[in-house]
Structures are given as C-alpha cells and as structure tokens.
Amino acid sequence: QVQLVESGGGLVQPGGSLRLSCAASGINFRAYHMGWYRQAPGKQRELVAHSSTGGTTDYADSVKGRFTISRDNVKNMVYLQMNSVKPEDTAVYFCAAYFTLRTYWGQGTQVTVSS
C-alpha cells in the first residue's frame, strides 16, 4: 500500500534550521508531484512547497528564500530544508504525493518554533 512517512520535526529556536524528510513507498515516485503542506492550530492546511515531476519548484510567499524543497527519485525521498525559521512557521507539516485527481498524505510531523 502507499505510505508517506515524515520525519525530522521538533522544537527549534527562531532563526534556526530544520530539515524534514519524507519517505515514499508503494507509488511510482517519479510519476508523482510532491509537496509539503502545513496546518497550524485553527487554520486551514496550506501548501508550503511543491516539486513537480519535471523538476520545477514553487513556494508559498511566506517561505520563499527561507525554505527549499528537494527530491531524490532514486531513494524515493522528498526533503524540506527550513532556514531562518519564525514562530509563525509552527505547524504540523505534511508530505503529499499527487497526480491528476489522486493525492496521498503522510501522517504529519510537528514543527515548533519557540525560544
């Protein structure tokens, strides 16, 4: 079955860095766009970063210049490098794989930015 497993979340101080990882299995990874979403308490889930099958990337305005998404099509992994984090980056971060009308989600990993 399809599995997306995130790791790397935790507590980080403002201005610090964190790297999230997502291991995918059960899908033809190269055929899926990959994304990182986040959901803060009381807010809707939002797209943070997107990596297309063609290698293009896109970011929410709030994280441009600070976050970087990358993917490894050999290891079936997608990463989110988070630099210069801010308290407003605090949320549960989800990995997603999507292709046409099909979307798969991971279980999420908590990121808390606090001093």
- Answer for the pair 95, 34: CB distance below 8 angstroms, yes or no: yes
Q: What's the pLDDT score for residue 74?
A: 96
Instruction: Please give the DSSP secondary-structure letter assigned to residue 30.
Output: G
User: What's the pLDDT score for residue 52?
Assistant: 96
Tokens, residue 68: 């970087």
pLDDT of 100 reads: 86
Q: Which residues in the chain show pLDDT less than 70?
A: none
What is the structure's pLDDT at 101?
86
DSSP letter (8 states) at residue 31 = G
